[in-house]
Chains A and B, each alone.
Chain A
Amino acid sequence: MIKQLVTILALCLLLGTGTAQAGVTLESFKFNTEAEEQHFKDLIEELRCLVCQNQSLADSDAELAHDLRAEVYGMIQEGNTDAEIVEFLVARYGDFVLYNPPIKPSTYLLWFGPFVLLAIAALLLLRSIRRQQKTASNEISTEERARLDALLGDTTSSKGKDQ
């Protein structure tokens, strides 16, 4: 039973990666060097396709992704820098095309929110640890000790009486 499940899971994983790889349908762009090709691939990997929003320009088979890949390729061939290409796309489609959003006032919450939450959680944790240590290390005073002894003594004596 378990063996079967594992086989099915393994199959699913294999199929999953299979389709993901099949999704990459790069047009036959010509590059002079391998580094240039890698540069192009890295760049389109960082850009989001607006049609299939969970895919990058590299992964998407949408018509627009084809066009934008050609556009990016053309701009690289013309000697544009990455910053210029990104700026070109952001001017037309907005920050949405970037998988790596820029740090600016409207994204402060996005970038720093998790750290603020982490700091708050750390503070709360520290406070609760401190409080616990305080109660744990509380030594009882001599008066309390005497009272405790008296109480314990009482129970033993009362128990003795009952017997």
Chain B
Amino acid sequence: MTRYLRYLVPLAIFFILVAFLYRGLSLDPKRVPSPLVGKPMPEFSLPRLKDPAATLSDSDLKGKVSVLNIWATWCVSCRAEHEVLLQLANTGSVDIYGLNYKDERTKAQQWLQQLGDPYVANAFDADGRTGIDWGVYGAPETFIMDKQGMIRHKHIGPLTVDALNSTILPLIAELQATP
């Protein structure tokens, strides 16, 4: 028995290592889980993108299921994501708000005119201070809040049709069903 052990132990260690390395292949180090999930959304109050005189604040997002999408015109993958956002808006299942992050107002307004506007309203975060409160470290990022204003999900990176169908739409439906 001990004679076999001397061969079996290294073999077992090898397979454990392989299992860990294999798992590592499918992990993306860029996706850092947000500590904000499960917490109330950070307070904010910012001028709106289209009407600087009006403000958009966290209270506008409360009392209903809401989506907050962080985007900017300098963000390449935001353009790729835009189509999916329009698709989500078309389902009519949820109000999508935008946080226009460290952007130029005129460029952002042009973007929405050219590509279509999926947002109910956009907050204009010129210095990125609100972005920091939301733990933003790279646009695009998308948060889903329940009716109490609790953050229930964070999607890092561009939204995809796949993510929409597999996680986001089912979650929204579930949150809409709960009071």
Q: How far is the CB of B84 from chain A (nearest CB, A)?
A: 23
Q: Indicate whether A94 sits within 8 Å of B35 (C-beta atoms), given known contacts A51-B137, A53-B29, A63-B102.
A: yes
Q: Which residues of A lie under 8 Å from residue B33 when comparing CB positions?
A: 94
A93 to B29, CA, bound (A): 14
Q: Is the CB of A67 within 8 A of B137?
A: no
A95 to B135, CA, bound (A): 12
Give the contacting residue for A92; candidates B29, B35, B127, B128; CB below 8 A: B35
A43 CB–B CB distance under 8 Å? no
Q: Is the CB of A92 within 8 A of B134?
A: yes
Q: Is the CB of B128 within 8 A of A93?
A: no
**Interface extent on B, as a size class?**
10 to 19
For the residues of A in contact with B, the DSSP-based class is helix
Q: Is the CB of A50 within 8 A of B137?
A: yes
The number of chain A residues with a CB under 8 A from chain B is: 15
Give the contacting residue for A96; candidates B32, B102, B134; CB below 8 A: B32
A23 to B86, CA, bound (A): 40
Q: Which residues of A lie under 8 Å from residue B127 when comparing CB positions?
A: 67
For the residues of B in contact with A, the DSSP-based class is loop
Give the contacting residue for A91; candidates B30, B35, B102; CB below 8 A: B35
Chain B positions 25 through 36: 1 when the CB is less than 8 Å from some CB of chain A, otherwise 0: 000011011111
Chain A positions 61 through 104: 1 when the CB is less than 8 Å from some CB of chain B, otherwise 0: 00110011001000000000000000000111111100000000
B138 CB–A CB distance under 8 Å? yes
B132 CB–A CB distance under 8 Å? yes
Q: Which residues of A lie under 8 Å from residue B32 when comparing CB positions?
A: 50, 93-94, 96
Q: Is the CB of B135 within 8 A of A93?
A: yes
Q: 16 new A-B pairs (CB below 8 Å) besides A50-B137, A53-B30, A93-B34?
A: A64-B128, A64-B137, A67-B127, A67-B128, A68-B132, A71-B132, A90-B35, A92-B35, A92-B133, A92-B135, A93-B32, A93-B35, A93-B137, A94-B32, A94-B33, A94-B34
Interface residues of B (CB under 8 A from A): 29-30, 32-36, 102, 127-128, 132-138
